[in-house]
Amino acid sequence: MAVAVRPILRIGDPRLRQVSDPVDDFDTPELHELIRDMFDTMAAAEGAGLAAPQIGVLKRIMIFGIESSSRYRDVEAVPTTVLINPEFEVLDEVRQGFWEGCLSVPGMRGYVERPAGIFYRGLDQYGEPIERSAEGFHAIVFQHEYDHLDGILYPDRLEDTTKFGFVDELAAAGIS
């Protein structure tokens, strides 16, 4: 099957600011094609996660997963996951900070603190339930992708806006 890489919307596009709709129909050819395209798009961009609104599909669908990548080489592995209509609760209120990047904010990073431990649930593309507790980068990437479904981008969550900038400038300054 041909690889289908879709254009990734960038910050400023109002579609990234919409609240996405739940998915009603599972295990359909359209949904499977969308999920395949999301994985192809994420892989081509070397991302750790992708939410459907980032390719202009305003549905509550996210994918994520990481073995090792150039973008996030210092973090632990995260299982490859399709999560639809997700929900979560915070298990550990302690906040952990990561230098986050986003395929919709290319070339930039920012330091964001989020709850360190969560429990999430959702459905996969077949409608089968998924329930997991997550911590570390796994918890961060889930919360980052979840935000996309509500039209929130990580720069909205910066507490210190000096810890935000272009990757090469931050590196040159020794900040990140």
Which stretches of the chain bind Zn ion, using CB under 5 A?
102
Judge whether 30 counts as a catalytic residue: no
Give the nearer residue to Zn ion in terms of CB position, either 70 or 131: 70
Closest approach of Zn ion to the CB of residue 14, in Å: 16
Closest approach of Zn ion to the CB of residue 1, in Å: 26
Give the nearer residue to Zn ion in terms of CB position, either 78 or 102: 102
Closest approach of Zn ion to the CB of residue 130, in Å: 20
Single out the catalytic residue among 30, 89, 145, 159. 145
What is the DSSP code string of the chain?
----PPPPP-TT-GGGGSPPBPP---S-HHHHHHHHHHHHHHHHTT-SEEEGGGGT--BSEEEEEES--STTTTS--EEEEEEEEEEEEEEEEEEEEEEE--TTSTTEEEEEEEEEEEEEEEE-TTS-EEEEEEEHHHHHHHHHHHHHHTT--GGGG-S-TTSEEEHHHHHHTT--
Give the nearer residue to Zn ion in terms of CB position, either 31 or 102: 102
Q: Which residues are designated catalytic?
A: 145
